Amino acid sequence: MTSNHFKGIIQGLYEGNKVIILRILILSVIIIISATNLFLIWICLELNLFSFVPLLLNKISTSERETSINYFLAQTLGSTIFLLFSVMLFYASWLIKLNITLLIFIILLKIGAVPCHYWYPLTIRMIRWINCFILSSWQKLAPIFILTYIICFNIEFSNLEIIVSLNALTGGLIGIRQILLKKIIAYSLITHMAWILRRLIINKPYVSIIYLLLYSVTSFPLFILFNIMGNEKIDDLWNKYENSALIIIIIYLFILSMRGLPPLIGFIPKLIIINLLIKYSIFSLLY
């Protein structure tokens, strides 16, 4: 069987089951949000993983195969440790603090947050723009819900402060050195994860979900725009549209809005969290 023949078979299977794959992708997250059983949550995490990998393999290119393996290994590692955590929690409840800490790092690995973020920029760099959007929004919804449940019940405030600071510093410092648009977006989202975790610190989990939804809505036009233009670097934007100042201005306004700079729409979620931090007198996180 030739390589082209194999690619044709995979492509045919994907096109024939695309609707089923998307339904599983959506339904698995909905079940996780409403579930209370750890084993059911683990099963749905696996379903979510196996429904997203075919989307990464749509074109069966070498880069997409490598990317899907990267994503699969990172998520499988997280799911395996999550299952181990569930067993430990059931048979060794006296290790609850250790288990909770372990579970937090599992979720950080699954959403690509610091200090478990290394797979995320590498993965997002090699996939299509529409998959970038799914990975940066929908695929993070379920893990954030799980993290919300954990933090609402058990977590030391100081430990989470350190994680928040690491995400903010890593996303900001490394992000400004990038020239690839996808990696800029990846490190931008790492910075946004710091803001989402800030909301969890003040025990307002619903605001974290609102933040992620607002980020998805404001960033969606930018992903669609980049998908249409097919640009990969910031320099490509200037070289391609150097005679169209209006297009350049619109693109950069979208990028700045996604970064959450005032007075653009993307700053609204940050403004909400700043007001909440001031209300609860948590000034250590206002930087």
Count of domains for the chain = 1
Which structural domain range is residue 61 located in?
3-285
DSSP state of 180: B
Q: Chunked in runs of 10, what are the mean pLDDT values of the chain (287 residues)?
A: 48 61 87 83 88 76 73 86 76 63 82 85 85 88 82 59 82 80 85 78 68 82 81 72 74 78 78 75 57
Q: Which pLDDT value is given to residue 264?
A: 78
pLDDT at position 156: 52
Neighbours of 144 (CB within 10 A): 23
Instruction: Calculate the alpha carbon distances from 143 to 18, 42, 150, 276 in Å.
Output: 24, 11, 11, 23
Main-chain dihedrals φ then ψ at residue 261, nearest 5 degrees = -85, 140
Please state the pTM of the whole predicted model. Answer: 0.83
- Find tokens 């969890």 and name the residue: 200
CA angle 262, 266, 267 (to 5 degrees): 40
pLDDT at position 287 is: 54
Q: What is the pLDDT of residue 6?
A: 44
**For residues 42 and 82, is the Cβ–Cβ distance under 8 A?**
yes
**Structure-block tokens of residue 219:** 């960033």
State the DSSP code for 231: -
Bridge partners of 33, per DSSP, are none
